[in-house]
Amino acid sequence: MASDPVMLSIAAASHSYDGKRWQFRDLDLDLKAGEIAAILGPNGRGKSTLLRVMAGLLKPRSGRLHLNAHTGFVPQEFAGSFPYSVLDVVLMGRARHIALFDMPGKSDREKAMEALSATGMADHAHRDINALSGGERQLVLIARALAGENAVLLLDEPASALDLKNQEVVLSLLAALADDSKLAIALTTHQPNHAVAVADKVLLMLDHAETIFGTVKDVMTEANLEALYGIPIRSAHLGDGRHDETAFMPLFQQRDRKGGRR
């Protein structure tokens, strides 16, 4: 059986806004159809910048980007200030399929509704986007990218503002899109356990533009995560023998407070 095609790759890529502080240097990365890559790093290390380079929205200072499919970029939050309906927001994802000055047609609306159904948001099609919860809006943004019939999805911290249940909803959706629809997916996250839950590959963005890229098994170690975040990290193997998982836990310093610990 032929291996899945590479949908996105970057070779010897480097980026800096001022030529002095580099977000990453000489980075090689590839993403195949059906794969999920998680990008982890502290605040300000360049995760969002890398994602925008991968989307073709920023040009790297050096190196090459190869995109072999249309790419959907999913930001952290919908930036519109007008009371758009959910359906209108998803229809925005059809822009490249609609001729200049034309209006969305029947087929565009059908594709938009299919995308909303895939994300479980079809019943909210006519609601005001601003009336939705953070988790619901995130699902709408994913639906917008799906409506564009993109084979690559790039998501900037898709679960950062969500409660645990909605994190599971988003992660389960991404896993299903990779497994069932063979989408190639990359996401940034602050949660190592998100990478363990759904990713095939992980990129760690460390100090001084250093990066580590590889499989979850090879990259997600206590030592690598401690180097990444600068605090002790411990792993634990949890499960019932039939469904075992590895979880990573930061060891925050416990402090004595006046009146005892809270």
Asked whether residue 190 is domain-assigned, the answer is yes
Q: Name the residue with higher pLDDT: 169 or 258.
A: 169
Query: Are 63 and 190 contained in the same domain?
Result: yes
Domain count, the chain: 2
pTM: 0.90
Across the chain, mean pLDDT equals 91
Q: How far apart are CA 158 and CA 176, in angstroms?
A: 15
Interhelix angle 134-147/164-181, rounded to 10 degrees, is 10
Mean pLDDT value of segment 142-171? 92
The pLDDT of residue 262 is above 60: no
State which of 118, 149, 180 marks the end of a domain: 149
Q: How far apart are CA 71 and CA 84, in angstroms?
A: 23
Query: Are 4 and 62 contained in the same domain?
Result: yes
Q: What is the pLDDT of residues 171-213, one digit of tens each?
A: 999 999 999 999 999 999 999 999 999 999 999 999 998 999 9
Query: Are 57 and 161 contained in the same domain?
Result: yes
Q: How many CB atoms lie within 10 A of CB 250?
A: 12
The pLDDT of residue 243 is above 90: no
> Do residues 203 and 9 lie in contact, with contact meaning Cβ atoms separated by under 8 Å?
no
Query: Are 168 and 224 contained in the same domain?
Result: yes
Query: Are 35 and 160 contained in the same domain?
Result: yes
Q: What whole-number percentage of the chain has pLDDT above 70?
A: 96
Asked whether residue 137 is domain-assigned, the answer is yes
Q: How many CB atoms lie within 10 A of CB 190?
A: 14
Which range of residues forms the domain containing residue 87? 81-149
Query: Are 11 and 111 contained in the same domain?
Result: no
Query: Are 185 and 216 contained in the same domain?
Result: yes
Asked whether residue 28 is domain-assigned, the answer is yes
The pLDDT of residue 20 is above 80: yes
Q: How far apart are CA 256 and CA 19, in angstroms?
A: 45
Torsional sign, CA 28, 23, 68, 195:
positive
Determine the pLDDT at residue 152. Answer: 96
**CATH number of 224's domain:** 3.40.50.300
Determine the pLDDT at residue 93. Answer: 92
Residues across the chain: 262
| Contacts of 62 by beta carbon, 8 Å cutoff, 6+ apart | 12, 13, 14
Asked whether residue 227 is domain-assigned, the answer is yes
State which of 149, 175, 209 marks the end of a domain: 149
The pLDDT of residue 15 is above 90: yes
Determine the pLDDT at residue 228. Answer: 96
Asked whether residue 242 is domain-assigned, the answer is no
Q: What is the pLDDT of residues 47-99, one digit of tens each?
A: 999 999 999 999 999 999 999 999 999 988 877 668 899 999 999 999 888 76
Determine the pLDDT at residue 172. Answer: 94
Query: Are 57 and 158 contained in the same domain?
Result: yes
Mean pLDDT value of segment 20-40? 96
Q: How far apart are CA 55 and CA 72, in angstroms?
A: 8
The pLDDT of residue 28 is above 90: yes
Q: What is the pLDDT of residues 103-116, one digit of tens each?
A: 888 999 999 999 99
Helix, strand, coil shares of the chain, percent, nearest 5, are 35, 30, 35
Q: How far apart are CA 176 and CA 171, in angstroms?
A: 9
Determine the pLDDT at residue 1. Answer: 43
Q: Where are the alpha helices (DSSP H) in 131-191?
A: 134-147, 164-181
Determine the pLDDT at residue 256. Answer: 77
